[in-house]
Amino acid sequence: MRAENRIPNNEGLAGDHQTRAEFLRKATIGVTSVSLVYCLLACAKSDEANGAEGKNFSGSLTLTTDQKNTLDSQKFLNLDGLIVTLDGTTYRAFGRRCPHESGEIVAQSGTSMQCQRHTEQLYGATGVGNGARTSASLVSYTVTNNAGVLTITG
């Protein structure tokens, strides 16, 4: 074999040499192994960093006087698993789980709610999606107004 086709081995102490083909074969195996590890890690990553996991409400809840006063003044209330909104004189309640990929929904006003995982995904006063990621509606709950005492069931 000609000398210009040989390159020094990393071990080099004994004067061992390997051909370019041997070097490239070994290097390709190493690069492929590292690439495979990175691919597997990317597939296993969580989307938690892109927005918290949303929850939906289950059961019955009567708002406290303080919660009702906050709702009446700011037109929305973000609770655990539940959003309550006031649009004009209409009270509505929705789950906080986005139907697209279960991101957390946060009310920004009485007529606008946003997915925290995909911030371009908005929901209007009736809980219908804007179509950025989905046109599906949020889960809605029954709101009963008994002489100013609000009870949500679902």
**pLDDT tens string 52-71:** 688 888 899 999 999 999 99
The tally of CA atoms less than 13 A away on the side-chain side of residue 47 is: 11
Is the pLDDT at 49 greater than 50? The verdict is no
Name the DSSP letter for residue 6: E
Instruction: Compute φ and ψ for 74, nearest 5 degrees.
Output: -100, -5
Nearest to 53 by CA among 95, 94, 109, 92: 95
Residue 137 is predicted with a pLDDT of 95
- Mean pLDDT, residues 17-35 taken together: 78
Tell me if 124 sits within 8 A of 58, measured CB to CB.
no
DSSP structure class, residue 139: P
Identify whether the C-beta of residue 101 lies closer than 8 Å to the C-beta of residue 47. Answer: yes
* 19 pLDDT tier (thresholds 50, 70, 90): confident
Give 115-131 pLDDT, tens digit per residue.
Answer: 999 999 999 999 999 99
Q: What residue type is 105 in one-letter code?
A: I
Residue 149, both tokens:
């005492």
Domain range summary for the chain, segments of one domain joined by +: 3-44, 51-153
On the CB side of 17, how many CA atoms lie within 13 Å of its CA?
10
Q: Which CATH number fits domain 51-153: 3.30.70.3270, 3.30.2130.10, 3.40.50.11540, 2.102.10.10?
A: 2.102.10.10
Q: At which residue do the structure tokens 């949020």 appear?
A: 138
Half-sphere exposure (Cβ direction) of 107: Cα atoms closer than 13 Å: 27
